[in-house]
A and B are shown apart, each in its own frame.
Chain A
Amino acid sequence: MSHHHNRPAIVVDNGTGYTKLGFASNTAPSFVVPTCVSVSGGGVSSSSSSVLTTQSKKEEKDESNFPGNGNSKKKKKKKAYEYYSHHNHASKSLQDLNYSIGEDALAQINSKTIKWPISNGIVNDWTSMEKFWQKTLLNVLRVEPEEHFFLLTEPPLNPAENRERIGEIMFETFNVPGVHIGVQAVLALNASVALNASAAAASSKKNRNGDEENSGNDTSKRDRNDGLTGTVIDIGDGVTHVIPVCDGYVVSSAIKSVPLAGRDLTRFVQTLMRERGENVPAEEFSRVAQKVKEKYCYVSKDIAKEFELHERNPKEYVIRMEGVRAKTNLPWQADVGYERFLAPEVFFRPDMIAEKENGFGQFSLPELVDNAIQECPIDSRRKLYGNIVLSGGSTMFKGFGKRVKRDVKRVVDKRISESEVKSGNRLKAKSVDVEVFTHDMQRYAVWFGGSVVASMPDFYKSCHTREEYFEYGSQVMRSNVLEKEEVFF
């Protein structure tokens, strides 16, 4: 058992859009793979068969060079399967063994069916998920799963059955020695705590005094405990979650989630550009829109002023994109204008697309944050306002954190002043500090948090182990190890 500890644990953050993979103690995931699997069947049959024939031709060519190479071995394997299938009349089902994942799968979009095993953060297609894990662990990371501990993530409100499924696959198929399932929001908080601590360490190094060092130790400890209380705004590809966390536990009754996130912004940008008649090739439109969203979008302080700025000074604000059509090699050009600030504005004015899509309904993101915190225990609310943490790729817009801070503050102040008026101005409330924590790791905050947690020496104690699993069955996965014993911090 002890020798697993020499090897780094593997951190896997399965998201709706992308899966982040890597080794614990790294600062960034080594691989970011689209969470999708392509399976044969469906699509245009003729094109898929032509793909197959060219492949086999190539294989034959290779074989003449060196018979003992990879292809021929793979072929041997294939032969073995054919042999097997011939005897069992199961050749049809064995086609399933031919699949690919991630970018490779997306490249086959014309000839194969693409499956996305995770929707809205929750795994609902376990067959595809297991296939996806097989490829990512064995071919992409090239690890022996038997020799590493794993840290996997789950969304808040993940059904316990899904945790059991994770256990089944990890322990029975992959023989892993131990699994820890971390809640994404808590991991994001962990990331911010670690970054805070390292920033504090850096600053204390700069002005090093004897006194400060002593006191610094204490404060960092206190900060750590405070750090695990906070509100996480997690905006991924598919869902937006506002999750209050108190002392490392998710306040599940207060979670707010809305099916409006990165993907919808991309679509919004696309509609805006299409309605204006930008000359972007149709087949590349969604990719271009995504690029616009990731590279050029920012959050404005005031829409009206921003419109004015754009009108007055289009040279500075309108960006010209250029590209070449894939098929005809003809160049195209398109202007990126108002959508630069209009797209992220959706989070603050949901009525912009609420009619068309299932948007925030009547609540903007700051209101959601406020509502979520108001549903939490009263003694933790100040801390929750004081530590709002951003996580997920769609929080990376310039100025996003400031805007959230300002708007939440407004909502809170408004309520406080209203209640002061109601009390007849006899009671004065202490003003509430709203603090939004932004950092460079936001995009992979959950993964980074996982990496921090999994590189701590206590991590191994907090895992569900193989022995436990085979002793008590899959229900061990239901309980959170955090409830079993206090390990972190």
Chain B
Amino acid sequence: MTQFENNNAYFASPFVRNWLLRAIANEDNDQISCEIAHEFDDVSFRCELHSSTYSSKDDVKSTLIALVSVAFPKSNDEKSNNERVTTREKFLSLSSSGAFERGRALGIIRKVRVLGGSDDAEEEEEEQAEFGYDATVEVDLKKLNEAEEKEEMIDLISSVRVYAGYGTLRACLRRLVVEEEEEEEEAKAKRRSFSLRRQFASPSVSMYCKVEEDDTLKEGAEERRSCTVVFPMHVSSSLSNNEDEVVIARAFLAHFAEASRNSAKLSAAPFVSYHKPGQKPPLELTTSVDATTRDGDEVDEMDLNANGGYVSFVIFPRHVKTKESLERAVWMLASFPNFIKSHLKCSKGYWHEKMRGKAEELLETLKRAQKEPKMSAKKKLISGRTYVPR
């Protein structure tokens, strides 16, 4: 859409961004109230303002605190409460990602509260997120407004969705670059065992990641380790059973995979492959649970019959080397199914537009072909002569 200046900008939620900008712009905060939003993949936001007084070293100050909360959807697996917390913990990764360190150092972000409390027991701010939400970021609006890094910080806060979620996916991708010494023997064995991890973006959208090691390449070679991310594409839900979309999706995805292969410019990009729905699903999905270690997630049966086929990306360590590129990769992968969905909508719109144009053209032609109404009676001119049209 637009060229963004820093990394965070393009996965920043426009809603949170806009809300923060409005909250900063109006000082007397009477126009801004609590607002909710609901983005794709069932992620919901709530932003609200609190004026709070806090006593620093020598004086009592009052300031405006913005609470930005994010909630991720509950997956179907989360039946019991216990199970819910564990899947949540797998999903949430805010405390470990450390993305908000900079904001904290500047004093703009006062607290980051996560469901289940923070990781560090030493810190006193063991607070839960706002009720019903998974993570809450407390922002000091005054400091934010005065800071030089205003734009950057706003983008950072609006990206809370990326930093708070997608824990499994991030962990898988991070394994590509984490040095082996850091891992214990057991973990090493686990990694070797190609276990499959399932990540929910929402109950209806899932993806599978599998870290693999290619033994044919020599130790330390960059391409030795790779992570394959497989998306079973559920194009239209059972609610809106739309055959057209499925057809468009198949063609679109086939072209997508082909284009990435044929273009010289994209030679460094992750390898994309597409399995059509009629074909066998990718091997990664069919050999899900490792026989020896019994580790890994089961593949959902629904995901084995995806109506739009399967798209898989192969990510190599070079794609996730730096922190920024890791976060980018996480976001690009996590939003991929929605990216495709929105493009399906747009291409449908495009075709409808053409169809409308054709229909109008046809109607015009038909109108022109209409016979002129016959003169009912002979028309007479004033002089008394009959008028004969040619």
Tell me the residues in window 323-370 of chain B with beta carbons closer than 8 Å to chain A beta carbons: 324-325, 328-329, 332, 338-339, 341-343, 345-346, 348-350, 352-354, 356
Q: What does DSSP make chain A's interface, helix, strand, loop or mixed?
A: helix
B36 / chain A contacts, CB cutoff of 8 Å: 8, 23, 25-26
Tell me the residues in window 132-164 of chain A with beta carbons closer than 8 Å to chain B beta carbons: 134, 138-148
Binding site for A on B (CB under 8 A): 1-3, 10, 13-15, 18-19, 30-42, 236-237, 239-240, 242, 245, 252, 255-256, 258-260, 262-263, 265-266, 268-270, 272, 313, 315, 319, 324-325, 328-329, 332, 338-339, 341-343, 345-346, 348-350, 352-354, 356
B349 / chain A contacts, CB cutoff of 8 Å: 130-131, 134, 169, 173
- The distance from the CB of A137 to the nearest CB of chain B, in whole angstroms, is 8
The answer to whether B252 touches A134, judged by C-beta atoms less than 8 angstroms apart, is no
- The distance from the CB of A69 to the nearest CB of chain B, in whole angstroms, is 5
A55 / chain B contacts, CB cutoff of 8 Å: 3
The answer to whether A143 touches B332, judged by C-beta atoms less than 8 angstroms apart, is no
User: Can you list 27 contacts pairing A with B, beta carbon distance less than 8 Å?
Assistant: A8-B36, A25-B36, A27-B33, A30-B15, A58-B3, A66-B325, A68-B269, A68-B329, A75-B266, A76-B263, A76-B269, A79-B263, A80-B259, A104-B1, A104-B2, A126-B356, A138-B342, A141-B37, A144-B41, A145-B345, A146-B236, A147-B42, A173-B345, A173-B348, A177-B239, A177-B240, A440-B30
B350 / chain A contacts, CB cutoff of 8 Å: 96-97
**Once the chains are docked, how many angstroms separate the CA of A462 from the CA of B288?**
47
A-side interface size class: 35 or more
**Once the chains are docked, how many angstroms separate the CA of A143 from the CA of B242?**
18
A438 within 8 A of B: no
A83-B259, A175-B236 given; A130·B353 CB < 8 A = yes
The answer to whether B338 touches A144, judged by C-beta atoms less than 8 angstroms apart, is yes
**Once the chains are docked, how many angstroms separate the CA of A68 from the CA of B329?**
7
A70 within 8 A of B: yes
A77 within 8 A of B: yes
A172-B352, A466-B240 given; A67·B319 CB < 8 A = yes
A76-B266, A134-B346, A173-B345 given; A8·B255 CB < 8 A = no
A82 / chain B contacts, CB cutoff of 8 Å: 259
Binding site for B on A (CB under 8 A): 1, 7-8, 22-23, 25-28, 30-31, 55, 58, 60, 63, 65-70, 72-73, 75-77, 79-80, 82-84, 93, 96-97, 100, 104, 126-127, 130-131, 134, 138-148, 168-169, 172-175, 177, 440, 466
**Once the chains are docked, how many angstroms separate the CA of A168 from the CA of B359?**
14
**Once the chains are docked, how many angstroms separate the CA of A142 from the CA of B331?**
14
B34 / chain A contacts, CB cutoff of 8 Å: 26
- The distance from the CB of A319 to the nearest CB of chain B, in whole angstroms, is 20
- The distance from the CB of A464 to the nearest CB of chain B, in whole angstroms, is 15
B240 / chain A contacts, CB cutoff of 8 Å: 146, 175, 177, 466
Among A140, A168, A173, the one with the most B-chain Cβ atoms within 10 Å of its Cβ is A173
The answer to whether A134 touches B345, judged by C-beta atoms less than 8 angstroms apart, is yes
- The distance from the CB of B320 to the nearest CB of chain A, in whole angstroms, is 8
- The distance from the CB of A476 to the nearest CB of chain B, in whole angstroms, is 17
Question: How many interface contacts (CB-CB < 8 Å) are there between A and B?
Answer: 161
- The distance from the CB of A452 to the nearest CB of chain B, in whole angstroms, is 14
B328 / chain A contacts, CB cutoff of 8 Å: 66, 68-70
**Once the chains are docked, how many angstroms separate the CA of A100 from the CA of B1?**
7
**Once the chains are docked, how many angstroms separate the CA of A26 from the CA of B349?**
29
**Once the chains are docked, how many angstroms separate the CA of A129 from the CA of B265?**
35
- Extra 8 A-B pairs, beta carbons < 8 Å, given A76-B259, A82-B259, A130-B352: A27-B35, A31-B18, A66-B319, A68-B332, A79-B260, A80-B255, A127-B353, A138-B346
A68-B319, A127-B353, A142-B15 given; A30·B265 CB < 8 A = no
B332 / chain A contacts, CB cutoff of 8 Å: 68-70, 73
- The list of the 9 closest CB pairs from A to B, nearest first, reads A79-B259, A80-B255, A67-B268, A67-B269, A66-B325, A138-B342, A175-B240, A142-B39, A80-B259
**Once the chains are docked, how many angstroms separate the CA of A1 from the CA of B37?**
20
The answer to whether B19 touches A30, judged by C-beta atoms less than 8 angstroms apart, is yes
Residue of A nearest to B346 (CB): A134
The answer to whether A142 touches B352, judged by C-beta atoms less than 8 angstroms apart, is no
A67-B270, A67-B319 given; A28·B35 CB < 8 A = yes
**Once the chains are docked, how many angstroms separate the CA of A134 from the CA of B346?**
7
The answer to whether A73 touches B259, judged by C-beta atoms less than 8 angstroms apart, is no
B14 / chain A contacts, CB cutoff of 8 Å: 31, 139-142
Residue of B nearest to A9 (CB): B38
Partner among B37, B324, B343 whose Cβ is within 8 Å of the Cβ of A23: B37
The answer to whether B352 touches A72, judged by C-beta atoms less than 8 angstroms apart, is no
B237 / chain A contacts, CB cutoff of 8 Å: 146
B265 / chain A contacts, CB cutoff of 8 Å: 60, 63, 75
The answer to whether A67 touches B256, judged by C-beta atoms less than 8 angstroms apart, is no
The answer to whether A80 touches B40, judged by C-beta atoms less than 8 angstroms apart, is no
The answer to whether A169 touches B352, judged by C-beta atoms less than 8 angstroms apart, is yes
- The distance from the CB of B135 to the nearest CB of chain A, in whole angstroms, is 18
A26-B35, A66-B329, A68-B329 given; A146·B239 CB < 8 A = yes
- The distance from the CB of B26 to the nearest CB of chain A, in whole angstroms, is 11
Residue of B nearest to A69 (CB): B328
Residue of B nearest to A84 (CB): B255
**Once the chains are docked, how many angstroms separate the CA of A101 from the CA of B194?**
46
**Once the chains are docked, how many angstroms separate the CA of A477 from the CA of B350?**
22
**Once the chains are docked, how many angstroms separate the CA of A96 from the CA of B236?**
26
A97 / chain B contacts, CB cutoff of 8 Å: 346, 350
A68-B315, A173-B349, A175-B240 given; A77·B343 CB < 8 A = yes
A83-B259, A142-B40, A177-B239 given; A67·B266 CB < 8 A = yes
The answer to whether B13 touches A72, judged by C-beta atoms less than 8 angstroms apart, is no
**Once the chains are docked, how many angstroms separate the CA of A174 from the CA of B356?**
16
**Once the chains are docked, how many angstroms separate the CA of A126 from the CA of B272?**
37
**Once the chains are docked, how many angstroms separate the CA of A342 from the CA of B353?**
46
- The distance from the CB of B42 to the nearest CB of chain A, in whole angstroms, is 7
**Once the chains are docked, how many angstroms separate the CA of A57 from the CA of B2?**
14
